[in-house]
Amino acid sequence: MSKDTKDRSVEDCRSIEYGSTEDVPLQTVLSPSGKVIVVGNEVDEAMEFAKHHEHIELTAKEDRRVKRKLDMIVMPLFSFLYMIQFMDKTCISFAAVMGIQADYSMAGTMYSWTTSCFYLGYLIASPLAAITLQKLPSMTTSATCIIIWGAVQCLHATAKSYSTFTLLRTLLGVLEAFVSPIFVIMMNQYYKKSEHFGYIGVLYGFNGLGTVILASISYGLYHNVTSYTMEAYKILFIIVGCLTILNGLLILFIMPNTPADAKFLTEREKLVVLERIRGNNQGFGSKKFKWHQVKECVCDIRTWLYFFIGISVAIPNGGISSFGSIILKGFGYSTEKSLLMKAPIGACELVGLAVLPFLSYFITKRMIIAVSYLLICVMSSCLLAFSSNNNVALAGYYITGIAPVGIITVTSLVASNTAGHTKKLTANAISLIGYSAGNIIGPQTFTTADAPHYNKAKAAIVGCYCAAILLMTIMSLLNARENKRRDRVQQELGDKYVVIENQEFADLTDFENAEFRYSL
């Protein structure tokens, strides 16, 4: 763009006064590429809330106080949800050594497909979920799906055939597609960009707690297997299903669709939440589905980096989460002992991921933490894949508990670095499709011919973690370069650089908002 054109664009931005009527644009802004963007009345829901309330000065003390309140109400609900969500998906791994394969006459890759079909349903439903959660009240919709999801989990105990069982597993995947995006929405509604990586790490850390709880329950059920009128693994499905229903009801009755409707916040605290998230350059969300944001998302190289990172970290996840108990049996442990021996990998995950907020306080660049963690995963997966000593291989297996840092990074980057509500939900759906595809592929790498050590699958895990590190490095360099370019353009414009009132809540994408900077 020429200097004259750029100056004319700036004058255009100044020529329209801020309007409050519904039939005129609010304002225009100059995008980082020099294009004039008209901000109409199809803005974020936070804009309307901000227009009807005075701007407040947020003190550090008040910020900490409200953050503590959110940490005591919002985070426990969603940490519990993450834990239950993970337990729903992975209790099949425990059922695998409790007799389900024999009961349903599973041979060849039939067991692998009990996990792959879950993610197949997830993959198919993700685009529909992205549209639905934008059109309908997001929290209410997700909470309803969680309750139905719990009921379907309970119905696993009634399946009489393998085909019925796999159908129920597929339905679980479809329902989860309507739940996973809610974490990205929640993070943007209540937490700062600088907090996203660490707090999502806490959510995933509760997956580890779920593993510990599942291991304990499974061990107890199997230890007393002769005391029940049904198979022990069916009781496991019912327990997890009931916990899921409880969690859905809690979210339905406690969580509002936006912070503006939160009954657990005072009017002042709602304004504090609004001020907390101003720096995100994103708001509460918009009900208008914008096709130009979908197009921008598809053309954004970051979207496809999220997709391929998702695949890279999901292939190991799909394999290890499905075959973890079987891998342990391959080390020579009995069925009962292998159930209990899964607890340490959950403990490693809980501790390793729950410390991410503390690490983020000292190391502000999340990619440095993520790549460091994945380098440890490369080392641990090499121990698992190539060591002939069972104790060393077992240690490698346990350390891979921190591997979810890969999908934590993707989720936090979508939350922090994708602006525009439609674009964000689309990017999240595409990243989840990649993650689903990887989880479908993962179990298939564990072939019957390679049992019980599955050396080829373990080697594939090493390669996938290396690929994820490479892709994350490319992402970091790309974002750092773009941030420097935007800083340079802003300096060149000087006084001609215009920021409209509440621009951060105008539902602009990261390509449209010159104030937006990518988190590293």
Q: Is the pLDDT of residue 459 over 90?
A: no
What CA–CA distance (Å, rounded) separates 509 from 31? 9
Q: Is residue 180 part of a domain?
A: yes
Among 47-51, 128-132, 269-273, 287-291, name the one with the lowest average pLDDT. 47-51
From the list 29, 162, 172, 42, the residue with the least C-alpha distance to 103 is 162
Pair 264, 186: CB distance under 8 Å: no
Domain count, the chain: 1
The pLDDT value recorded for residue 337 is: 78
Q: Look at residues 108, 240, 257 and name the one whose alpha carbon lies nearest to residue 189.
A: 257
For residue 476, what is the domain's CATH number? 1.20.1250.20
Provide the token pair at 322. Answer: 């499905």
Q: 154-158, 183-187, 276-280: which range is least confident on average?
A: 276-280
Alpha-carbon distance of 388 to 380, in angstroms, equals 14
pLDDT at 98: 80
C-alpha–C-alpha distance, residues 346 and 52, integer Å? 47
In a domain, 280, yes or no: no
CA dist., res. 273 & res. 256, Å (int): 14
Closest to 111 in 3D by CA, of 174, 171, 168, 165: 165
- What number is the average pLDDT over the span 460-474? 93
- Domain assignment present for residue 154? The answer is yes
Q: For residue 74, give both structure tokens.
A: 């919002």
Give the Cα-Cα-Cα angle 90, 405, 216 (nearest 5 degrees).
35
Residue 475 lies in a domain: yes
In a domain, 479, yes or no: yes
Average the pLDDT over 315-326 and give the result. 78
Residue found under tokens 């019925």: 164
3-state secondary structure of 44: coil
Q: Which two tokens stand for residue 464?
A: 């996938």
Q: Which domain holds residue 460?
A: 60-261+290-489
- Look at the block and give the residue holding tokens 């000593």: 389
In the prediction, which pLDDT does 416 show?
Answer: 92
Does residue 234 lie within any of the structural domains? yes
**Lowest-pLDDT range, 38-52, 54-68, 227-241?**
38-52
Residue 153 domain flag: yes
Rounded to two decimals, what is the model's pTM?
A: 0.84
* Residue 357: HSE in the Cβ half-sphere, 13 Å Cα cutoff: 14
Cβ atoms of 426 and 293 within 8 Å: the answer is yes
The rounded distance, in Å, linking the Cα atoms of 512 and 479 is: 15
What secondary structure does DSSP assign to 350-383, as a single string? Answer: HHHHHTHHHHHHH---HHHHHHHHHHHHHHHHHH
- State the average pLDDT over residues 129-150: 92
